Amino acid sequence: MAKLGVNVDHIATLRQARRGKFPDPVYAAGICERAGCGSIVAHLREDRRHINDNDVKRFKKEVKTRFNLEMSIAPAIVDIACRVKPHQATLVPEKRQELTTEGGLDIAENKNKIKKAVGRLSGAGIEVSLFIDPDIRQIKAAPLVGAKIVELHTGRYADSKTALQKGGELKKIVKAAYFAKSLGLTVCAGHGLDYDNVRPIAAISGIYELNIGYSIICRSVFAGLEAAVRQMLELVK
Ligand code: PXP
């Protein structure tokens, strides 16, 4: 069975709506761990739109499973990761204007920069994963820059508009997962997975971990809203 990494970025998105102290993503991480997740994922973006530097330090201290820091290869972010030393770093392409990560890294195009970041992070004792499209060319390039883990981008599968398109995207992910395994890579997958589309991805044999955020945080709002209203009513009474 694949493990589940829970991305808690959007707990921090809610906190940033008021720039206050809650909801606290580190407290959320503890709840995810009690529920059985295998790791906590958080993305320290260059614009700090949700997770901030202090959160990252606290995750490292408090997370009991594994802390997977999602990050760009910007040298200033790599510096922070090398200081904090999360268990794992997942390297992603990052654009300021994007709402979320829009695709995988182009390893061939950015070979030297990625190799340098992987070398620095590995040298600090951090396992490194590369977020890539389910594309044979990118998978072949991953070991050449020193990565032992890849995370296959499931966003195009998740965003497919027709069953035909979805089937085609699923085939690409299956093929990519087998090929990456055959090279000895640890294979993860994620992006855009939700309660309706996760099963075919979870059924791919050999996938080590699925990283899921937005759908879980959205579901938690409704899973918890009734109790939250009841608790406030008790106080009002
Ligand atoms: N994996 C990577 C590399 C991501 O960038 C993200 C989004 O932060 C996720 C997984 C989780 O995606 P989602 O929030 O759509 O579940």
Atom of ligand 1 nearest to the CA of 194: 16
Any idea which fold 3-236 has? TIM Barrel (3.20.20)
7-to-72, 114, 185, 191, 193 alpha-carbon distances in Å? 16, 23, 22, 10, 12
Q: Whole-angstrom Cα distance, residue 124 to residue 43?
A: 19
Query: What is the structure's pLDDT at 196?
Result: 97
Which of 34, 104, 90 has its CA nearest to residue 62? 34
CB atoms within 10 A of CB 179: 16
- The two tokens of residue 45 are 């973006």
Q: Which of 10, 50, 153, 191 is catalytic?
A: 191
Is any atom of ligand 1 closer than 6 Å to the C-beta of 44?
no
Ranges of each domain in the chain: 3-236
**Mutational test site, ligand 1, from 101, 193, 201, max ligand atoms within 8 Å of CB:** 101
Minimal CA–CA distance to 25: which of 37, 40, 36?
Answer: 40
Confidence at residue 150, expressed as pLDDT on a 0 to 100 scale:
98
Residues of the chain with pLDDT under 50: none
| Residue located via tokens 């290869």 | 73
Q: What is the pTM of this model?
A: 0.95
Q: How many CA atoms are closer than 13 Å to the CA of 204, on its beta-carbon side?
A: 26
Contact 151, 193 (CB under 8 A): no
Closest-CA residue to 91 (of 79, 109, 108, 78): 78
Phi-psi region of 159 (alpha: psi -120 to 50; beta: other; left: phi over 0): alpha
Atom of ligand 1 nearest to the CA of 7: 11
